Structure 1
Amino acid sequence: MNLPDIQSFIPIVLQACVDASEAIMKVYETDFDLTRKLDGSPVTKADLESNALIQKALEQTKLPVIMEEIKNEPFETRKKWDTVWIVDPLDGTKEFIRKNGEFVVCIALVHKNQSIFGVIASPVKKKILFGGKGISATCISFNEVNQQETWIPIQAKDTVNNPLQIAGSRSHHSKNEESFNQKMRDTFGEIEFIQKGSALKFFDLALGTADVYPRFAPTMEWDIAAGQAIIESLGGSVNHVETDLPLTYNKENLLNPFFVVKTKAVIDRLKK
């Protein structure tokens, strides 16, 4: 199967993100209940309503989906899919429950196991970040979704921040981070940290207010696939810690390996 026509999907996906975000915020502003999934992770009415809206919208593309809040097809079926949507209808449920605003909607298009288009929407900020193969990374407000003439592509920064800005998780930490941080100090000098929940960190990475994001704790494919497409469209990378190869998707096990996200400026600096 040839590369899909991503351009034709953009209006569908952007509108789905707006609709899902509005549904999420309606729940966010109430005293909502939460339940626990079999793995112990929390789920709310907002997760499920966002999931239903996005699933229905993506039916228009006639492509299969992998989503956090549905029972996904077995690998024997999935491995035959050349092209698939990978979706997290509410990334950062723990932050949503804490009501700190650090949650997003993530939608990625994967072709031959590579993430080729990604969209990340912040319901609180009413902003959408998107980009991919042949699609310039762009950040727009919700009210610009149908005003393509106002879209201005992001220009990747040429230089790293000083001090180097390392993005990290609000809720997940690991001992491996300190070793990585020391390597960054050895190379770049002084470092500072930006702590944020969810894939909201990719806004900082794409817009140049963060330089690198190491992740030495578990994530799933739907957490990172959208961000990878966006960062790669800006000349950055999302690579496996051990192999230094780009992450791949629609694997038998949907758990990601540990990885590091680097902006183009960091990659260029490390080449010197």
Structure 2
Amino acid sequence: MDYQKLEIVMRKLALEAGDKIMEIYNSDDFEVKTKSDSSPVTEADEAADALISAGLRDAFPDVALVTEEQAATHSESAMSFLIVDPLDGTKEFVNRRGDFTVNIGWVEDGVPVRGVVYAPARDRMFYTRADGSSVEEFGPFDKDTVGEVHDIRVAQADNSALRIVASKSHRDQATDDYLAKYTAADTKSAGSSLKFCLVATGEADIYPRIGRTMEWDTAAGHAVVNGAGGKVVRFDTHEPLTYGKEDFANPFFIVASPTVDLKPA
């Protein structure tokens, strides 16, 4: 993979998709349909998916592509592939809460190594550079010219007072029971893969997910966390979360600074 080209293409496509999403988000009304798994999908999901898929296939015609909105791509069996969630956090979009993102990731030998997470309603964009390091770029954003960019790193966590981020739409008793094992300095909720990015920037120390997710939900944010020095591990074994599974479904997982004690008393 040409990482320099990948950085440019992913960043630009994320911004273009974000513009399309916001055009629909700011309209008076938009249609919400229900997929076979009972999750919502909107014309914004579909428009962003078409734009990103076309751009990636044009730039990388020989690379496998998996995208949430195209079931035909879910039969891919490669261990290295591009993976897209064109609108992560559709419930946040439908409810006009703003915590939705465009996710584009590159998985290499089962590991997410490059990615972009763009939250157009929040004017926040996080991505990995060609060298694998993670940054946040600050707006206003120009599609052809990179603006002000700051390196991001996970925090040195204080286990006596952790800053916790949890799902806004999928908080449950199992998550609360796990978090109760920690002493929290602060607990916040966020939608979509923004939770990964809050750990990557050091704004939070840990994000546990005890619930169903798919690889396209997590790959881009996982790459950003990796590039910021963090870790994403299985909830049960604390082994690294891997990609390219047959059904693209993730086990439960934890996103954290390496200094967080994952086995609290």
Q: Distance in 1 between matches of 2:46 and 2:138?
A: 24
What's 1:5 paired with?
2
If each structure's helix is expressed as a fraction of its own residues, which one has the higher value?
Answer: 1
SS in 1 for 2:16: helix
Contact 2:52 2:86 (C-alpha < 8 Å) held by counterparts = yes
Does 1:226 pair with 2:220? yes
How many residues of Structure 1 are paired with residues of Structure 2 in the alignment? 260
Counterpart among 74, 78, 83 of residue 80 in structure 2: 83
> Deviation at 1:177?
1.6
How has the CA–CA distance of structure 1 residues 74 and 151 changed in structure 2, closer, same or farther, with 3 Å as cutoff?
closer
> Deviation at 1:148?
4.2
> Deviation at 1:127?
2.3
Does 1:217 pair with 2:211? yes
Q: Distance in 1 between matches of 2:74 and 2:48?
A: 23
Counterpart among 53, 68, 72 of residue 55 in structure 1: 53
Counterpart among 166, 175, 198 of residue 192 in structure 2: 198
Contact 1:161 1:209 (C-alpha < 8 Å) held by counterparts = no
Gaps of 5+ in 1: none
SS in 1 for 2:107: strand
Counterpart among 28, 34, 39 of residue 25 in structure 2: 28
Does 1:111 pair with 2:105? no
Residue type of the alignment partner of 2:115: G
Residue type of the alignment partner of 2:60: T
| CA RMSD across the alignment | 2.3
Q: 1:143-165: per-residue Cα shift (whole Å, max 9, x none)?
A: 25544474331244334497421
Contact 1:65 1:85 (C-alpha < 8 Å) held by counterparts = yes
Q: Which runs of 4+ in 1 moved over 6 A?
A: none
> Deviation at 1:87?
0.6
What's 2:251 paired with?
257
Moved more, 190-199 or 125-134: 125-134
Q: 1:182-226: per-residue Cα shift (whole Å, max 9, x none)?
A: 3223xxxx4431111111112311221111000001111111111
Q: TM-score when scaled to structure 2? A: 0.90
Gaps of 5+ in 2: none
Counterpart among 239, 243, 247 of residue 241 in structure 2: 247
Q: TM-score when scaled to structure 1? A: 0.88
